[in-house]
Structure 1
């Protein structure tokens, strides 16, 4: 009987230890981790980017944190695709087709440029002779936003569903065009993807949706009634800002001309300084050579006497 009780006790202890080892946990000292497992020594997680196991009740080394930051996100801001760009020109008076889409070439006074289907400039500004052969489609839009302080935490899985539902209700966007929603407190990244082959005549364009959302966030809503309403844990999600990145089906055609006048001026000054330094060095060497020749000649003259 005593033997059976001892065996039962051992099984109970083993079961408790096994349960503790498989218990999930949250890394208190490092949010850039995954695959967290709790055991009798605490919470252990895998550091993103290095696959190194770290103890979560202690600070993670700077080296691992930097590697994780480069591998995934930076303060919640994800790495953007190679050809993603922001429209830095702001609002302008566009030329539109009768269907309402942008004309491929836009002009303002004597300057002209080519745009994508979102109306964002994708070439250098040029003169009136500029030709834009096609209106390049923006098939991928990345909305980077963040929310203000909250009294309750944001559930990432509920956030994705809430955004899909609100975008469908408010902007009539089919949820299939929201390819991803990534959350890292307080940043939210919403990715919209819509190829020309996917879009039907009844579908809204993702460029229009992004513009409406941006206006809602700025408090300048284009919709008459109602406001952007995304609730998480029965608390409204209030957005502080919105940054829109565009990825076209063809890469943009920017060059060194895109540099600002200030940057160009700095480059010119640096080049002039280098040239001036070389000139001074050459002149100094020439003078030194003449002095050395004169000194040798003077010594030779003394030797003759």
Structure 2
């Protein structure tokens, strides 16, 4: 009797698993689908609109999904947040192993960094001075995993990543302020003010560096401590990672830091304003000139009438 019950239970689990795997949208490969109460529910990427997979998806929704795939707009850049555009360099560390506020390279070019070692000013020469080491008190990590037939459960992604960060990188849970999953994107927010961090607490900048190395397949741990990023046993294959650093004080980049596109927009706006002012001045002068001509003509006619 028990064996028959066990066989029936296994058959039910296999059937449920097969139903989950068959949950897809035959008319839209970019749809995100999930099984709910035995029904396969599919929604459009980028809009989350419910789809009827027995029909073609509208062009508008398809284009929106395509743009979401090419230019994902998942999590906004944090205010005053900036990325590490310089990569690896030979840093100057103090006796405690912390970054010194000023860093220089062999070409006698210097710059100021934050406590995460990320440049936060324009580059200068050896005369450059950095009065203090500004602390990075927030790190925002954006991840994108490979497209799959159905998204993971949000609660499971959050729990698994929180446990990974706590156990593997020894970060106290109070510094993990948020983990948000919006298929296929994940946002991890770490916050740690200087007043909250004790001597034994791991720094969030170190956690982000170890995590980035793990994701990119260049782990800093021994091979015996293999990196296993998964959700309930299913691999969480990360395709992209982006890290924003937010300091206690805003960065001090000048206009040189702006991209060519932003500079071009600024130039166009300034030129438009100058041209507009010039047109107004010229038009005003022409109108003034025409008024003067009319007044002179009217005065001439009045004089002729008086003489006659």
TM-score between the two structures when normalised by the length of structure 2? 0.61
Tell me which residue corresponds to 1:135.
133
Q: Is residue 116–residue 205 contact of structure 2 (8 Å, CA) maintained in 1?
A: yes
- Aligned counterparts of 1:173 and 1:221: Cα–Cα separation in 2: 17
Where does residue 235 of structure 1 map in the other structure?
234
Q: C-alpha separation between the residues in 1 aligned to 2:269 and 2:73?
A: 33
Alpha-carbon distance in 1 for matches of 2:122, 2:216:
28
Unpaired runs of 5+ in structure 2?
1-49, 52-71
How far did residue 207 of structure 1 move?
A: 1.0
User: What is the number of equivalent residue pairs in this alignment?
Assistant: 234
CA positional deviation for 1:88: 5.6
TM-score, structure 1 as length reference: 0.62
Partners of 1:123 and 1:252 within 8 A in 2: yes
Secondary structure of 1:77's aligned partner: coil
Counterpart selection for 1:77 from 74, 77, 100:
74
* Structure 2: distance between partners of 1:126 and 1:264: 25
Distance 1:292 1:197 in 2: 77
Q: Determine whether 1:100 maps to 2:97.
A: yes
Flag the 1:112–1:262 CA change in 2: closer, same or farther, 3 A. farther
Secondary structure of 1:160's partner? Answer: helix
Paired residues of 1:76 and 1:186 also in contact (CA < 8 A): no
Q: Which runs of 5+ in 1 are unaligned?
A: 1-55, 58-74
Structure 1 pair 86/228, CA: closer, same or farther in 2 (3 Å)? farther
For residues 187 and 152 of structure 1, what CA distance do their matches in structure 2 show?
13
Which one of the candidate residues 130, 149, 160 is aligned to 1:162? 160
The aligned runs of 1:1-305 (5 Å cut-off) are 77-78=74-75, 83-87=79-83, 89-91=85-87, 93=89, 95-98=91-94, 99-107=96-104, 112-125=110-123, 128-223=126-221, 225=223, 228-253=227-252, 258-260=257-259, 261-303=263-305, 304-305=307-308
Question: 1:270 and 1:212 mapped to 2: Cα distance?
Answer: 48
- Please, which moves more after superposition, 290-299 or 220-229? 220-229
In proportion to residue count, which structure has more strand?
Answer: 1
Q: 1:231 to 1:87 in 2, by over 3 A?
A: closer
Question: CA deviation digits over 1:168-222, x for unaligned, max 9?
Answer: 4543434443232122222211121223344444543211221232344445555
The change in CA–CA distance for 1:88 and 1:95 in structure 2 (over 3 A counts) is closer
Where 1:119 maps in the other structure, the secondary structure is coil
